[in-house]
Structure 1
Amino acid sequence: MTLPLMLATLWTGAQAATPQNVPALPTPAPSVAAHHSPVPSETVTLNRLSGPSFLRIPDTCQIQACALVVVAHPRGQSAERLHMSPQVNVLIQALLDASFAVLLSDDGGANTWGSPAALDQVAGLHADAVSQFDWNGRTYALGLSMGGLLALRSALPGSPYLVSGVALIDGWADLRSAWGGSVARRIEIADAYGLGAAPPEPSLNPLTEVMTHPPFPLFVAASPDDAVVSMKTNADILYSRAEAGVSDWVMLTGPHLGGNRFSPTLARHLAGFFGRLEARELARSVPRR
């Protein structure tokens, strides 16, 4: 799967909007963005048999404790592919600028489909990553396409590390929907989960588990034009479990992983979502008099 550079209009919804009441905004007039210098960062390579992962640490983490965002990649890709992608780096740089360390995870392989085994491998990467900088104890997850399944699984009970908020961009949430979508996906999922011909049990499906989970912070960006991951059976259902007040629904147009997924506008929305969660945690830590 490639990351196409097809551009389309970006529609954004108000904070904590529901899919039914997201307003469509007009296409903004061209404007010159205010100049700012990107925050410099250090890159640490974490090698595994399945491939390298890359930890990006902004220089601001040298003077303050930082949270970590773990990024799970699309089907057939790798952490190295994300690390080398100028489009993905628009999102990553926005997180670095907001003083988040970012782990581009190999996810245990190219087609692990959010399996428990993949999450166990990422847990080892997470432990290595947080030892490399002044970590504040909080972790967030970002899933791109297939990576949505791993991002969601990491936030559910039983995860080997605690995740305080999840963002999905064109993300799969329903494993059984992915299984039924194509023979190729079914073969990959069966291999990743150690299954035979039978579909995954409901207990293996992150979306099923999410529906019994208390509402939690979610950032969901999806398009009704996406012919790969159905917005109706993934994003729409998932967002019903979004915690009000901090969650974000961003309505996109255009094809799966089109160019507007990697725009500065979406990058700012994404960094703002994680930033709100950090601000809330900091406010909670201030002693009341």
Structure 2
Amino acid sequence: MRALAAALVLTWSGAQAMVLAPTVTTGAAPDRAARGSVPSGVWVPVGSGEALSLLRVPRSCVQACALVVVSHPRGQSAAHLRDSASASVLTSALIHAGFAVLLSGDGGPTSWGSPAGLAALGQVHAQSTDLFPWSGRTYALGLSMGGLMALRSALPGAPYPVEGVALIDGWVDLRVAWGSAVSRREEIGAAYGLPDPPEDLNPAWLARTWGRLPMLVFGSPDDRTVPFERNGEALWAEAGEPDVGGLVRLSGGHLGGNRFTPEVARQVAAFYRTLERRR
């Protein structure tokens, strides 16, 4: 279903990196004439309560543009991402590349990719895509805990299709998160409404059984919060599409500054642009 592009599996220490630049094809955008509009270049609230999210549409989105949904780390919110100088490096690059960006509330600060959080995101996504000339294509970016939501949104049973997933220090294996600390276990139990969520609610398990996906995965073996070997590395090996995206190994601890450099932002934007051109 997907055309070949240049594979990328890198080792990166500090700020050294590469990015793929394949040749791909384009397709016609659907007619969005009936859609509403929001002011471009500013963050616009969508949804309410724990689902409150923030949408920003680039000024270049005149006819149609794709949407990148950004899922936040544990204990944070869409407003945290908006106000974060680090996260702004990523979102600014996406806006500059012509993508609309939705900073997702994910159904709350500790939703852990739960069905309730996914349903809340689905409602916000539907509201958001009625507010600008959406091309019909969505991509996901997950930071830390947000990796679970980003990956889950790209798998069967999600409320909308996702064309590709980028992860930065992302949790993807719910069982590993569950077993890593009592506090996480309590939050996951509350989010899922179950004393022990079954494997078929685990995004990593679903990804392994569903098939390979376009992914760009950043992480570090030095991360003591999210074990990279059991999350991003394992996911890429078992479910990453080998001919696009890649695995980028960084150095340093969890969500360190080298995750939010202009070079990382460029790679993320280029990954989505690659998928846009190969459609």
Tell me the TM-score normalized by structure 2.
0.86
Question: Could you say which residue in structure 2 is the equivalent of 1:32?
Answer: none
State how far apart, in whole Å, the 2-side matches of 1:27 and 1:121 are.
36
Q: 2:147, 2:269 → 1: CA distance?
A: 17
- Residue 202 (structure 2) pairs with residue 211 (structure 1): no
Change (3 A) 1:178 1:25: closer
SS at match of 2:211: coil
Say how many residue pairs are matched: 251
Match for residue 44 of structure 1? 44
Residues 70 and 141, structure 1, Cα contact 8 Å, conserved in 2: yes
Query: In the alignment, which residue of structure 2 is the partner of 1:33?
Result: none
In 1, the alpha carbon distance for the partners of 2:14 and 2:78 equals: 35
CA contact (8 A) 1:248 1:273 kept: no
Q: Secondary structure at the match of 1:211?
A: helix
Give the conservation status (yes or no) of the 8 Å contact 1:138–1:162.
Answer: yes
Measure the CA separation in 2 of the matches of 1:152 and 1:50. 20
The answer for the alignment partner of 2:245 in structure 1 is: 247
- Structure 2's unaligned 5+ residue stretches are 1-5, 17-39
- The unaligned stretches of length 5 or more in structure 1 are 1-14, 29-39, 282-289
Deviation at 1:245, TM superposition (A): 1.9
Describe the SS at the equivalent of 2:191: helix
Where does residue 61 of structure 2 map in the other structure? Answer: 61
Which residue in the other structure is 1:261 paired with? 259
Q: Secondary structure at the match of 1:247?
A: strand
SS in 2 for 1:139: strand
8 A Cα contact 2:15 2:263, kept in partner: no
Report the equivalent of 2:160: 161
- Asked if the contact 1:42–1:59 (Cα under 8 Å) also holds between the matched residues in 2, the reply is no
* CA distance in structure 1 between the aligned counterparts of 2:147 and 2:199, rounded to whole angstroms: 17
**Percentage of identical aligned residues:** 52
Cα distance per residue 1:57-76 (max 9 Å; x no partner): 000002x3100000100000
2:214 is aligned with 1:223: no
- The offset of 1:81, in angstroms, is 0.5
CA gap of 1:27–1:84, structure 2 versus 1, over 3 A, is closer
1:27 is displaced (CA, Å) by 6.4
- What residue number does 1:3 align with? none
Q: 1:140-192 deviations in whole A, cap 9, x for unaligned? A: 11100000000111011111111110111000010000000000000000000
State the alpha-carbon separation in 2 of the partners of residues 181 and 233 from structure 1. Answer: 12
| Structure-1 residue corresponding to 2:113 | 114
1:57-103 Cα shifts (integer Å, max 9, x gaps): 000002x3100000100000010000111110000000001100000
CA distance in 1, matches of 2:93, 2:173: 28
- Does the CA-based 8 Å contact 2:47-2:124 persist in structure 1? no
Distance 1:252 1:76, change over 3 A: same
Residues 121-200 of structure 1 mapped to structure 2, 5 A cutoff: 121-196=120-195, 199-200=196-197
The separation in 1 between residues aligned to 2:91 and 2:254, in whole angstroms, is 19
Partner residue, 2:229:
232
Please give the alpha-carbon distance, in whole angstroms, between the structure 1 residues aligned to 2:11 and 2:68. 29
Q: Does structure 2 conserve the Cα–Cα contact (< 8 Å) formed by 1:114 and 1:150? A: yes
Asked whether the equivalents of residues 16 and 249 of structure 1 are also in contact (C-alpha less than 8 Å), the reply is no
Find the counterpart in structure 1 of residue 7 from structure 2: 16
* In 2: Cα distance, 1:52 partner to 1:155 partner: 21
Mark the CA change 1:109 to 1:24 in structure 2 (over 3 Å): closer, same or farther.
Answer: closer
Following the alignment from structure 1 to structure 2, what is the Cα–Cα distance between the partners of residues 216 and 66?
A: 22
Distance in 2 between residues matched to 1:185 and 1:212, nearest whole Å:
25
CA-CA distance at 1:26 after TM superposition? 8.5
- Structure-2 change in CA distance of 1:147 and 1:245 (3 Å): same
Contact 2:8 2:246 in 1 (8 A): yes
Separation of aligned partners in 1, 2:154 and 2:58 = 24
Q: 1:24 to 1:159 in 2, by over 3 A?
A: closer
TM-score by length of 1: 0.83
Note closer, same or farther for the CA distance 1:236–1:132 as it changes in structure 2 (3 Å cut).
same
Q: After superposition, give the CA deviation of every residue in 1:233-286 in whole Å (9 maximum; x if it has no partner).
A: 0011100211122122211111100111111010000000001000111xxxxx
Inter-partner Cα distance in structure 2 for 1:24 and 1:271: 18
